[in-house]
Amino acid sequence: MNPEQIYPRKGKNNTESVYLKSVITDPSIIVGDFTFYNDFVNDPRDFEKNNVLYHYPLCNNERLVIGKYCSIACGAKFMFTGGNHTMKSISTYPFPIFPDEWGLDEWKCGQAWDNHGDIIIGNDVWIGYEAVIMQGVTIGDGAIIGTRALVTKDVPPYTIVGGSPAKVIRKRFDDETIKKLLEIKWWNWPSDKVKDNLQNIMNGVISE
């Protein structure tokens, strides 16, 4: 149990999955322990380049925050403000990102977009194949994002969503169980305690 290593699995051909925390270099992308990304198309170590799109933190002061023990499937994308041109002005054309051409201050490039803020992913979230998470969205702990879902609104904890745009399919557990899980916050336990309680966690037995 070492969240600092790059590859969670041992062996020659087990390089499709990485612990994201170990490969991220951008300080505006914050990832918790044991969260992994799987990619069977591209090198998963290139997550920052291939999966976090239109992310210009110097202009827009926006972050991607991902909690602990998340599972992110191949091709999932996090779409930031830069991919959504402003609708406040007469034109949607992003003049400020071409400052030399139009005689503008390059540090005002953020005016080219409507900034909807950070993307926040809770703990123990499963994001399915080629799902797209839009800027400003918060996904609660324990949620599941379906394959190729387009998530444009916040997702409550322990809720399954799917479709384009994503809609609630159902809750994973009843309200009382969700309340207990959010109180326990097992993902904050020391990894040794998680290991000791794996059978309960894997079999749906709530234990403190």
| pLDDT digits 0-9 by tens, 50-107 | 999 988 776 777 899 999 999 999 999 999 887 778 788 888 888 877 888 888 876 6
Distance CA 162, CA 149 (A): 5
Looking at CATH, the fold of the domain delimited by 17-172 is given as UDP N-Acetylglucosamine Acyltransferase; domain 1 (2.160.10)
Contact 91, 111 (CB under 8 A): no
Of 74 and 12, the one with more pLDDT: 74
Strands 167-171 and 159-162, by their bridges, are: antiparallel
Q: pTM, whole model, 2 decimals?
A: 0.89
Model confidence at 46, pLDDT cuts 50, 70, 90, reads very high
Distance CA 197, CA 193 (A): 6
72 bridge partner residues: 37, 127
Alpha-helical segments (H) within the chain:
47-50, 57-60, 99-102, 175-184, 191-196, 198-202
Which CA distances in Å does 77 have to 72, 85, 197?
A: 10, 18, 32
> For this structure, is 55 an active site residue?
no
Write out the residue limits of the CATH 2.160.10.10 domain(s) in the chain: 17-172
Set 85, 116, 148, 171: catalytic member = 85
